[in-house]
Chain A
Amino acid sequence: MSTPTATPTKTVAELEAHADEQVVFQRPETLTSANFSYCPGCTHGVVNRLMAEAIDELDIKGRTIGVVPVGCSVTAYDFFDLDMAQAAHGRASAVATGIKRANPDSIVFAYQGDGDLASIGTAETVHAATRGENITVIFINNAIYGMTGGQMAPTSLPGQVTQTSPYGRDTKTMGFPIRVCEMLATLDGPALVQRVSVDSPKNIRQAKAAIKKAFSYQMDGVGYSIIEVISSCPTNWGLSPVAALDWLRENMLPYYPLGVFKDAGAAPAEAETEASHE
């Protein structure tokens, strides 16, 4: 007896497509229809979309649980069609640890900004990483506190003018920015530590690949992964969205070089790819 196969429901875009057209880009299923609450040109939205696309493509929507931080993405539970938790400031990694340990079959991600992850949540972040918790952390680094109105963040660049460093960040009194990926890569716990950017379509594609890899590592039980995404904050940088991406390229990328800082699964993954090509 053949079981009736469910007819795949068409998306809104597919219904709108003409007979001779195919949809090459549409809203991913994992995003709800809610408007992002981010400012115009804020790259938070790009990263949210990339995560949703990765979850769609890995077909893990039904078992993914997200943990959102305090920051501009505090209401991200409205944007993802997933089970979500909202953690106290900086504690997303700790909450994600608890959810993952209680539900080992679920896929758990923490989505955190630089003020959340690199300042108040430094301890939770470092210890989740060194324990090698099998979770995925997406870290948005835009070198400023966004939601609270543009104060200096631990990742603000030397000389950067913010609300609380009006003459520029003076490293003699305010210290140096924290390079989170380089710091965590010194630990034995993490499986994947990578920094990406979303300033151009090319870098966005690389960011998507990194995010997808991080989720697939968690599915395979490889361990802790953190993807740092260099992002823009047009509003608090005082720039237009387009100028903000230029500023990002000129100032942030030299200080925060993109790349893979640690990849525990690199060798077997490559071997598999080669084997599949043969």
Chain B
Amino acid sequence: MSRIIVDDSYCKGCGLCVTVCPRDVMELDQETLTSKGYHPARLTDQSRCTGCALCAQICPDVAITVFKESKGEVKADAE
């Protein structure tokens, strides 16, 4: 299963990640305020995240880390 971590100490709530997510599983958390006073981005449904990292690509504050289910060994065998 894929997931992302949004580091609230970097996120400035610009919302660019929300617009590029192809699965529409990003939103700005209106109930949380970061220490800088922004509503941070969050993943709403981890089961639908594919780990495509488009959110991280466009994040201007490099706040997002993306993890993907490891298939490294299978791939290495195939090659």
A and B associate: yes
Listed in ascending order, the chain A residues whose CB lies under 8 Å from chain B are 13, 16-18, 20-28, 31, 35-36, 38-46, 49, 200-201, 204-205, 234, 240-242, 245
Query: CA–CA, A39 to B69, complex, Å?
Result: 34
From known contacts A21-B68, A24-B66, A241-B14, infer whether A42 and B57 are also in contact, taking CB-CB under 8 Å: no
B-side contacts of A25, CB under 8 Å: 53, 56-57, 64-66
Partner pick for B16 among A26, A44, A245, CB 8 A cutoff: A245
Query: CA–CA, A28 to B65, complex, Å?
Result: 11
Cβ–Cβ contact A200 & B60, under 8 A: no
Interface residue ranges of B52-77 to A (CB < 8 Å): 53-54, 56-62, 64-70, 72
Interface residue ranges of B11-52 to A (CB < 8 Å): 12-16, 19-20, 38, 51
A-side contacts of B59, CB under 8 Å: 45-46
Where chain A touches its partner, the secondary structure class is mixed
Cβ–Cβ contact B57 & A24, under 8 A: no
Which partner residue on chain A sits nearest B56 by CB separation? A25
From known contacts A41-B14, A205-B57, A245-B16, infer whether A17 and B67 are also in contact, taking CB-CB under 8 Å: yes
Cβ–Cβ contact B60 & A46, under 8 A: yes
Shortest CB distance B78–A (Å): 16
Cβ–Cβ contact A21 & B60, under 8 A: no
Partner pick for B60 among A43, A201, A205, CB 8 A cutoff: A43
From known contacts A23-B66, A25-B66, infer whether A41 and B60 are also in contact, taking CB-CB under 8 Å: yes
Cβ–Cβ contact A22 & B68, under 8 A: yes
Cβ–Cβ contact B61 & A45, under 8 A: yes
Shortest CB distance B47–A (Å): 15
Shortest CB distance B22–A (Å): 10
Cβ–Cβ contact A27 & B62, under 8 A: yes
Query: CA–CA, A41 to B17, complex, Å?
Result: 10
Cβ–Cβ contact B70 & A242, under 8 A: no
Shortest CB distance B35–A (Å): 10
From known contacts A40-B38, A245-B16, infer whether A31 and B70 are also in contact, taking CB-CB under 8 Å: no
